[in-house]
Chain A
Amino acid sequence: MSGPSLMDSLFQRTLEDLIKGLRQQLIGEQAFISKALEEIRKEIKSTDLSTKSTALLKLCYLSNLHFHDMSFAAFHALEVLSSPRFSHKKIAYHAISLSFHDSTPVLLLITNHLRKDLTSTNEFEVSLSLQCLSRIANVDLARDLTPEVFTLLSSNKLYVRKRAVAVVLRVFEKYPDSVRVCFKRLVENLENYDPQILSAVVGVFSELACKDPRSYLPLAPEFYKILVDSKSNWISIKVLKIFAKLAPLEPRLSNRVVEPICDLMRKTGAKSLLFECVRTVVTSFSEYESAVRLAVGKIREFLVDEDPNLKYLGLHALSIVASKHLWVVSENKEVVIKSLSDPDPNIKIESLRLVMAMVSEHNVAEISKVLVNYALKSDPLFCNEILGSILSTCSRNVYEIIVDFDWYVSLLGEMSRIPHCQMGEEIENQLIDIGLRVKDVRLELVRVARDLLIDPALLGNSFLHRVLSAAAWVSGEYVEFSRNPLELMEALLQPRTSLLPPSIMAIYIQSAFKVLVFCLHTCFVRGGSTAGVSASASYESFDDLSIENGAGSTVAHGQTCTSAPITNESIVNLLKLVELALSPLLGSHDVEVQERARNLLGFVDLIKLEALNSLGQEENDSEQKGVEATKIIRLVHDAFSKELGPVSLSAQGKVPVPDGLTLNENLGDLETICSDIELPSSNTFSFGYPSEEKDVSSFSNLQIKEDSGQSNESTSLLAEHRKRHGLYYLPSGKNEVISNDYPPANDPALQGDNNDTASDLVKLTAESLVPKRKPNHSKPRPVVVKLDEADEKPVAVKHPESRDDSLSGAVRDILFGSEDILPTSSRSNLPSSNRKGKEKQHMITQVESKENVVGDGNSSSRRRKDHSHGKERRHRKKNAEERNETDRKEKESSSNHPRRHKSRQRAEEPLKVPPQTSVIPDFLL
């Protein structure tokens, strides 16, 4: 089989040979396939249709199961299609449904083949072409073949008719105007007694009703009849699907339908139907207490079933109920909790969802505890699923359900230590977010951060790096709450930090800077020699801090206490430690790390000499000698002590565009300029903006809090931000709090001169927006700073697609018979017409367009038209009678569809208006 032989050239390989060869794989699968493809390419050009079709079949096989493109054979498939032999046709249709799509160039050439086969007397040929149409129909095919489909809709061969019904779905979708032609006949099939036809029609209507339920309300009586009479579970399921969509639209309908559904639920033995009943009730009939109770009873049976499928579906149904009847979930709490340890992942996830649905502010702590225990025991995937859902549930709506933030912050710390935890990013965001929003929790936050930082083992886990970066930032920013800054310093500078990625390393260094400044400040400024005094553990309330921030806040800071004494000696050690830890980083490859390390070391250099001197001196001397160092420390400390506030997500939008800056212009060319020139002048797009202070102050209501001295911190964070957003953003565009960028950037120049303005601004914003909090320790819910608009998630309004509109428009047109709805499709070139003539007219346009496009067999199509019309009329008459009858029935059984009556009356009216298009003589007569 492998080598080329005389036999190979004489006799074509069949598909079977190909498969055998593939399985033997003497020359490797890929090589064999490419050889086979080569053969196929040759064979498919053959003039002999048998050879061609075999080649095509082989190609289909390779395309379908070995994923080789077969679009090159599109035209050959059409050639094979023209063969009179059934077996060839079958192969061709198979190839076409595999490979044709809307942009296949030869698609238009297929119309006549399809038409020929659609009108064939062989039902299997008709079926093949219908099948093909259901897969490839586009607008043109749907339009051109609508008359044929229309005819087949009343074919007396069930085999063909049910397929014609099914194909209507695609035809309607592609060419909504065909509704006007086919819809009546489709509806007539609803009254068919053959379960197969009925199943197909109901299937089509359930698909249609999915997209636009309202249009099908008038058909509710028919569906009702099927629901009550149906013996087939399949049909019942589909009808239930339809009612699930219709019932919410029409309360009177649900009143009538709910009882039969409950009956069905009680009687049926089929689990599939039972589940569908349950689902229908809980989704669309949830206000019917008794029905819901019945459904819940059935759900319980599902929940205790051995079959994991039923158990899963039971839980799934519960989660649907949960949104409206939470009591149902609590009633089944035990099962749900037990399912958390089920071996089936689906069941676990579903029960997790249910558990989260039960969370409220009263039980959040207990539930989280249970879940974290589960997370510890379960596999990594589910563990993260649990952690993720705890995080998202707790942070929902700005931590709505959290009362005890101390607990939550320690939970975050605990969660990040779970071995499989991969939610670092989310935990990072929440730690920082909470730090910014909830002042009361900062003490605990710093404690949690310290515990994380101090553990050298955590540095080895790359999933935790994000959490650590948050911890580092928190402990730097809120260092005044730390019990032992020296210990913190050691943690931040420990050797294993080299395992961190540079961006986080930079945050570590910056935090170390803050901690160092704090230590020095405590030691020197607070009162030189008294530095060593360790005060009591009572923590100074930070109210003062937030109010008295600004240049004069040093006094307030001075009172913040630490339990570990900061002695002169320890300061000396600290400075040594810094130098030791950071000097290697001066050669770091990462500019960010290098720059920060240099900043910090520069600062140390600046003060070291004097500081050491003053420490070495006697008390009285230090006051004079240390003056300069003290000044510097005081200055830098002030810079760091400004509080950062949360920033509205929409803050950027409120920034007015400075004059001369065109945002819409493509700034791409600027980038090249910038790379050459150092930094463009700051009034165009600077990072610093000393002159724009008044701009910012106009946004004080956005709670943009200035942190005047965040020079280095912000530069590095800015760099991160810059990396993501490009060079060009407005300086006052405050970073989002949620993102990993930290709040805003300020110009270094601000540090000195603008301190006062900035601090005023902060005071202002703090006073106006953050309600003054009394220091209370009895744990009421702490204030969570919220921003006016930013925390609301944008609601995406989804509009129905226009295509559906045209389809439903057409359907409504037929069903409601509204005069005001004109043909919606722009393709219809009809003159606007009276409603009664419309259907006929459409028939005509169909035929007309068909003739226009194809221009074949006038007489035959005429004959068909006559024929179809005759049928149409008979149907119409029969319909009218039937409908009268049903009307009577309806009235007796208190119908609730007045609109339907209207449409019926309309339909019963004589057709007086002749079609206005006179191109074709009135063949209706």
Chain B
Amino acid sequence: MIKAVMVMNTQGKSRLAKFYEYLSVEKQQELIRGVFSVLCSRAENVSNFIDAESIFGQDSRLVYKHFATLYFVFVFDSSENELAVLDLIQVFVETLDKCFQNVCELDIVFNYSKIHTILDEMVFGGQVVETSSSEIMKAVEEISKLEAASNAISLIPKSASGWRSR
């Protein structure tokens, strides 16, 4: 089971945080800080695993990947495969890339809802339900359309613009 997904930049600013069990915001902040303090001390070209048991408690593993200014972090337990989760990060990033054409940190900053939508299509309640980025894209587009449609009825299109990324 996946316990948490985090995206943070190299300054330690959280860009996405998803915990699949309820945690108070203080606890979330503490965990993210804990993860970042380990991440930022790691050299390039070393393995993508971190001993997470000191941060997340028993039976937890952590896999991360570093892209440009962002760290993508997945925390999970013994019922997931480390390398498979690494692939999953790849899928996630590829999907973002397709979605925003050459994704950069700014896209993630400004598309809060959409990033969550994409992640929710992949991981459902800690379970991975979709690993194909084209399927994810399809669903995300459907959802965006649906949202746009439901907003269009109201004559205030102010928040609709945010969704129309393509």
Contacts and interface: CB of A to CB of B under 8 A. Distances in A.
State whether these chains interact.
yes
Interface of A: 11-12, 14-16, 19, 23, 50, 54, 57, 60-61, 63-65, 67-70, 85-88, 90-91, 94, 100-102, 122, 124, 130-131, 134-136, 159, 162-163, 166-167, 169-170, 196, 199-200, 203-204, 206-207, 210, 233-234, 237-238, 241, 271-273, 275-276, 308-309, 311-313, 343-347, 349
Given A64-B17, A166-B124, A169-B125, A271 B47 contact: no
23 contacts: A15-B112, A15-B113, A16-B162, A50-B154, A50-B156, A54-B159, A57-B159, A64-B14, A68-B25, A87-B148, A90-B143, A101-B22, A134-B126, A159-B139, A166-B124, A199-B129, A207-B127, A272-B83, A275-B82, A308-B47, A309-B49, A309-B83, A344-B46
A70 B150 CA distance: 26
A166 B125 contact: yes
A27 to B, nearest CB: 19
A860 B158 CA distance: 39
A240 to B, nearest CB: 9
Given A14-B162, A65-B14, A135 B125 contact: yes
Interface residues of B, number: 61
A276 B84 CA distance: 10
A134 B46 contact: no
A40 B20 CA distance: 26
Interface in B31-80: 42-43, 45-51, 78-79
A275 B63 CA distance: 16
A199 B82 CA distance: 17
A64 B115 CA distance: 13
Given A90-B143, A345-B42, A346-B50, 8 more contacts: A54-B158, A64-B14, A67-B28, A90-B113, A203-B128, A204-B127, A343-B46, A347-B46
Contacts of B158: 11-12, 14, 54
B147 to A, nearest CB: 4
Interface in B95-132: 109-110, 112-113, 116-117, 120, 124-131
Given A87-B150, A272-B83, A312 B47 contact: yes
B109 A135 contact: no
A11 B158 CA distance: 10
Contacts of B42: 345
Contact of B150 (A14, A85, A162): A85
Contact of B125 (A101, A134, A238, A344): A134
Q: Lowest 9 CB-CB distances: which A-B pairs, in order? A: A134-B125, A272-B83, A101-B22, A308-B47, A344-B46, A85-B150, A87-B147, A86-B150, A272-B84
A31 B63 CA distance: 35
Contacts of A206: 79
Contacts of B49: 309, 312, 346
Contacts of B16: 64-65
B151 interface: yes
B1 interface: yes
Contacts of A136: 22
B124 A134 contact: yes
B112 A19 contact: yes
A234 B129 contact: no
B129 A166 contact: yes
A15 B79 contact: no
A11 B47 CA distance: 50
Contacts of B81: 237, 241, 272-273, 275-276
A51 to B, nearest CB: 9
Given A19-B109, A85-B153, A167 B125 contact: yes
Nearest to A307: B47
A637 to B, nearest CB: 51
A663 B67 CA distance: 61
Given A15-B113, A86-B146, A131-B120, A344 B129 contact: no
A275 B87 CA distance: 14
Contact of A88 (B51, B82, B125, B150): B150
Nearest to A86: B150
A85 B149 CA distance: 9
A122 B82 CA distance: 35
A62 to B, nearest CB: 10
Nearest to B26: A67
Contacts of A14: 158-159, 162
Nearest to B38: A345
A390 B48 CA distance: 27
A313 B82 contact: yes
A167 B129 CA distance: 11
Nearest to B146: A86
Contacts of B124: 130-131, 134, 162-163, 166-167
Contacts of B46: 308, 343-347
A136 B25 CA distance: 16
B15 to A, nearest CB: 7
B48 A309 contact: yes
Contacts of A67: 25-26, 28-29
Contact of B142 (A124, A276, A309, A311): A124
